[in-house]
């Protein structure tokens, strides 16, 4: 019985160590940043010029593959319908704090390019050599991609930020 318990504890501690190795901040060459936290939450940001997007949610790990589940943040918008009755409606929040807003709040907003989930986070990444590699259709994406300005090609993986 003690041997089984010791083996289980060892396996569990190796599993936790494996998950801790991925915790940190990452970026790619295409405007994406990802913060992976030890409490199994993540925050994803993407930006280019005046357009931006963000997501947050939870991640899990199976062997060396990370799976991401986006959790939307909603604002409750108060609308007055044609019968002059107040109705609540949910809309994606422009920031990560849920709020109660009115429809008039939207008319005073300047143009915002993007927002929550405008550019979705990756669903699955493979951790290899301190990098997060994209997985599409069950295969690692290895082919370099062109940037915005069709010159140099860049690797499609996320690199850990230097502290």
Mean pLDDT by 10-residue block, N- to C-terminus, for the chain (163 residues)? 47 50 93 95 90 92 95 88 84 83 62 76 92 90 80 88 80
pLDDT at 83: 86
Dist CA 89 CA 74 (whole Å): 10
Instruction: Give the other-Cβ count within 10 Å of 11's Cβ.
Output: 10
> How much is the pLDDT for 92?
84
CATH of domain 2-72+117-160: 2.40.128
Give first-to-last CA distance, the chain, whole Å. 44
What element of type H or E holds 27?
strand 24-27
On whether the CB atoms of residues 154 and 145 are closer than 8 A, the answer is yes
H/E segment holding residue 43: strand 41-48
pLDDT score of 51: 82
The residue extents of the domains of the chain are: 2-72+117-160, 73-114
Residue 42: name the closest of 113, 124, 100, 99 by CA.
124
């Amino acid at each position: 019985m003690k041997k089984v318990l010791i083996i289980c504890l060892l396996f569990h501690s190796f599993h936790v160590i494996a998950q801790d190795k991925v915790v940190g901040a990452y970026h790619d060459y295409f405007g994406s940043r990802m913060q992976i936290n030890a409490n199994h939450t993540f925050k994803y940001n993407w930006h280019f010029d005046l357009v931006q997007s963000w997501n947050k949610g939870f991640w899990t790990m199976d062997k060396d593959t990370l799976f991401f589940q986006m959790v939307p943040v909603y604002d409750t918008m108060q609308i007055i319908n044609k019968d002059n009755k107040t109705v609540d409606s949910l809309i994606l929040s422009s920031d990560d704090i849920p709020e109660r807003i009115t429809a008039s709040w939207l008319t005073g907003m300047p143009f915002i390019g993007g927002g929550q989930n405008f550019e979705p986070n990756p669903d699955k990444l493979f951790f290899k050599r301190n990098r997060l590699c994209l997985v599409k259709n069950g295969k690692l994406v290895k082919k370099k991609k062109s940037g915005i300005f069709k010159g140099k090609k860049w690797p499609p993986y996320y690199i850990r930020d230097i502290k």
